Chains A and B, each alone.
Chain A
Amino acid sequence: SYELTQPLSVSVALGQTARITCGGNNIGARNVHWYQQKSGQAPVLVIYRDLNRPSGIPERFSASNSGNTATLTITRAQAGDEADYYCQVWEGRTGIFGGGTILTVL
């Protein structure tokens, strides 16, 4: 079955740029969706179909997808961006999540 690989953790200094990767075999050929999950809360969709932001998601959140890696980029990182981030794709009719990345803002 298809697998998505994320780093366990990423740290970023306040106000700097964080990049969270999601690796998968030829993931560039798939639509990748990204979720933010703050402690004790439900996940929130922050990017859909590789690079689209739902309404209400700040422009600081962007993403790309090419080759074997999709990347979520958070510019001007804020303390409120501390959360777990998950990538997700559909493999046929099956939903697949990456293992999640803990983002720490220093």
Chain B
Amino acid sequence: QVQLQESGPGLVKPSQTLSLTCTVSGGSISGGDYFWNWVRQHPGKGLEWIGYISATGSTYYSASLQSRVTMSLDTSENQFSLRLTSVTAADTAVYYCARAVPPPGVVVTLDGFDIWGQGTMVTVSS
């Protein structure tokens, strides 16, 4: 079955760029009507949606983060990536990648996040 695995540095300095990759195994990243998401969770807090990139490469980001976020797709490696610029301590969180698909026959919304990576902790500190 499809599995997701996040990877990237666990420590990033303030003002630098956070870069994470999610590797998809057990299926093709572009083999269906998939939307590949990033979700983060600040320590002891709830879930925050960051954005998604579709299997065709279209992106949509959270309004609160869109000025600092870029997502990309690497179909040759079956991976998708997150870049978050100008990080501060407020970006310290566990970052998850997750998949969502549209309901059958529907294009205006998505179903829930059916597959998640295990998450990776990123600390922003000098």
Cα–Cα distance between A45 and B60 once the two chains are bound (Å): 22
The B contact surface, by secondary structure, is: strand
CB-CB under 8 A from A93, the residues of chain B are: 52, 60
Q: A-side interface residues toward B, CB under 8 Å?
A: 1, 31, 33-35, 37, 41-45, 47-49, 54, 86, 88, 90, 93-100
Determine which of B46, B52, B63, B113 lies in contact with A99 in the assembled complex, contact meaning CB atoms within 8 Å.
B46
Q: B-side interface residues toward A, CB under 8 Å?
A: 37, 39, 46-49, 52, 60, 62-63, 96, 98, 100, 103, 109-114, 116-119
Closest residue of chain B to A95 (Cβ to Cβ) is B49
The A contact surface, by secondary structure, is: strand
- The minimal Cβ–Cβ distance linking B20 to chain A, given in whole angstroms, is 15
Task: Check A49/B111 contact, CB under 8 A, given A1-B63, A97-B46, A97-B48.
Answer: yes
Determine which of B103, B112, B119 lies in contact with A35 in the assembled complex, contact meaning CB atoms within 8 Å.
B112
Q: Quick check: A48 and B111 within 8 Å, CB to CB?
A: yes
Cα–Cα distance between A6 and B119 once the two chains are bound (Å): 24
Q: Quick check: B111 and A31 within 8 Å, CB to CB?
A: yes
Cα–Cα distance between A64 and B122 once the two chains are bound (Å): 36
- The minimal Cβ–Cβ distance linking B109 to chain A, given in whole angstroms, is 5
